[in-house]
C-alpha cells in the first residue's frame, strides 16, 4: 500500500516548504517555497557555504566601496536566488523567492525588488516562468503583484489569512495564494475558549476550504496553496487542494504512515468565470481591519519576516567585516 505522502501526491501538488537541499532530494516535491526565515536557516547549513562566499564576493564587486551593511543586504538577495537556483535543479516545477518584507507597504519598491530577483535568476540561466515572487498580501503588495503579473512575472501572495485578501488577489489576476492554516489555528487557540480542534473544525482548515470553494465556484484561476501546517491532520483535511506546501518534518510523518489518507476536500464543479466588479481599496482595508485575527497575524508575520531578514543580513555583515579585517592584516 502507498504511504500517505504518495497518496497525497495523487490528489494535490506537494510543495516542499524548505531550503534544505537534502530534504528536497528525499521527498521529491513538485515545487518548493522559501522565505527569509528559511533562507536564514539554510545559511547555517554547510552545503550552502559556497553560495554564501559567492554571494558576498558578488555583492562586494557590485557595491564598490559601500559599507558592510549595503554589501550584506545585496548579498542576501543574491544568496536567496542562489538557493532558489540550486533547488530548481532538483524539482520539475517552480520555486518561490520572497521580496524583502520591509517593502510590504511600498508598491514601487516591491516591483523594483521583484524585477531585480527575476533579473538575477535569468543571469543564472533560470527562466522567469520557473519562479514565483512571494509578496505579503497587503493592499500595496497585491497592487504591485498585479503589475508584475501583467509583465509575465508570476507571484505567490503570502501571509494570507482572510477571504478579503483572497478575493483581492483573485480579482488582481495573481497566479497563486498561500493561506496560512497553522497561524490561523494559533490565533484561535491563543484568543478563544477552545484549545483543541479536530482537523475538520480547525479554523485554518475551514478558512482554506472556504477560499477554495469560493474560487472554484466562480471560475477564478488563481491557485490555492495551503501553507503553515501544524500537524498532518490539517494536511489530510485539505487533500485535494491545488497545492500544499509542507515542512520536512511533516513530509516525513506522512511518508512514515501507511494508513489511508483522510477524505479531504470534496469535489467542486468549476464554473465559467463570472464578471467581477473588483474589491475597492477602502472595502479591503475595512474588511481586513474588522478581522482581528487576519490583521494581527498579517502584521505579526511581516514583523517576523523582517526580523529574520535582518538576522540574515547581520550574519552576512559579520562575514564581510571578518574578511575586511583579514585583508587589512594581510596588507599591513
Contact yes or no for 85/121 (Cβ under 8 A): yes
The one catalytic residue in 4, 128, 134, 297 is 134
Whose cell is 498579517? That residue is 298
* CA nearest neighbour of 80 among 112, 124, 111: 124
Contact yes or no for 117/77 (Cβ under 8 A): yes
H-run or E-run covering 25: helix 21-27
Q: In whole angstroms, what separates CA 88 from the centre of its chain?
A: 15
Quote the Cα angle for 145-151-153, to 5°: 60
* Sequence-separated (6 or more) residues with CB below 8 Å from residue 279: 164, 167, 168, 171
Q: Is 297 an active-site residue?
A: no
Q: Which string of DSSP letters, residue by residue, matches 98-137? A: EPPGGGTT-HHHHHHHHHHHHHHHHHTT--GGGEEEEEE-
Which residues are known to be catalytic? 134
Amino acid at each position: 500500500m502507498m504511504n500517505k505522502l504518495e497518496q497525497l501526491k495523487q490528489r494535490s501538488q506537494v510543495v516542499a516548504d524548505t531550503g534544505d537541499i537534502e530534504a528536497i532530494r528525499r521527498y521529491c516535491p513538485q515545487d518548493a517555497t522559501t522565505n527569509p526565515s528559511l533562507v536564514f536557516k539554510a545559511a547555517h547549513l554547510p552545503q550552502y557555504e559556497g553560495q554564501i562566499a559567492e554571494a558576498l564576493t558578488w555583492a562586494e564587486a557590485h557595491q564598490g566601496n559601500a559599507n558592510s551593511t549595503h554589501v550584506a543586504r545585496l548579498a542576501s538577495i543574491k544568496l536567496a536566488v542562489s538557493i532558489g537556483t540550486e533547488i530548481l535543479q532538483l524539482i520539475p516545477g517552480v520555486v518561490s523567492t520572497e521580496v524583502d518584507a520591509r517593502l510590504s507597504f511600498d508598491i514601487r519598491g516591491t516591483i523594483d525588488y521583484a524585477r531585480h530577483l527575476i533579473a538575477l535568476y535569468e543571469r543564472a540561466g533560470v527562466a522567469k516562468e520557473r519562479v514565483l515572487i512571494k509578496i505579503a498580501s497587503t493592499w500595496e503588495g497585491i497592487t504591485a503583484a498585479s503589475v508584475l503579473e501583467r509583465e509575465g512575472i508570476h507571484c505567490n501572495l503570502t501571509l494570507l489569512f482572510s477571504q478579503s485578501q483572497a478575493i483581492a488577489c483573485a480579482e488582481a489576476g495573481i497566479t497563486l495564494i498561500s493561506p496560512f492554516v497553522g497561524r490561523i489555528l494559533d490565533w484561535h487557540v491563543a484568543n478563544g475558549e477552545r484549545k483543541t480542534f479536530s482537523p475538520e473544525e480547525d479554523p485554518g482548515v475551514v478558512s482554506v476550504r472556504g477560499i477554495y470553494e469560493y474560487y472554484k465556484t466562480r471560475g477564478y484561476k488563481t491557485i490555492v496553496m495551503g501553507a503553515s501546517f501544524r500537524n498532518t491532520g490539517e494536511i489530510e483535511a485539505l487533500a485535494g487542494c491545488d497545492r500544499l506546501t509542507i515542512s520536512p518534518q511533516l513530509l516525513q510523518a506522512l511518508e512514515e504512515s501507511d494508513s489511508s489518507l483522510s477524505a479531504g476536500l470534496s469535489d467542486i464543479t468549476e464554473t465559467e468565470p463570472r464578471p467581477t466588479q473588483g474589491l475597492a481599496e477602502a472595502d479591503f482595508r475595512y474588511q481586513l481591519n474588522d478581522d482581528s485575527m487576519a490583521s494581527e497575524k498579517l502584521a505579526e508575520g511581516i514583523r517576523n519576516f523582517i526580523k529574520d531578514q535582518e538576522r540574515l543580513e547581520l550574519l552576512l555583515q559579520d562575514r564581510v567585516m571578518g574578511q575586511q579585517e583579514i585583508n587589512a592584516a594581510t596588507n599591513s
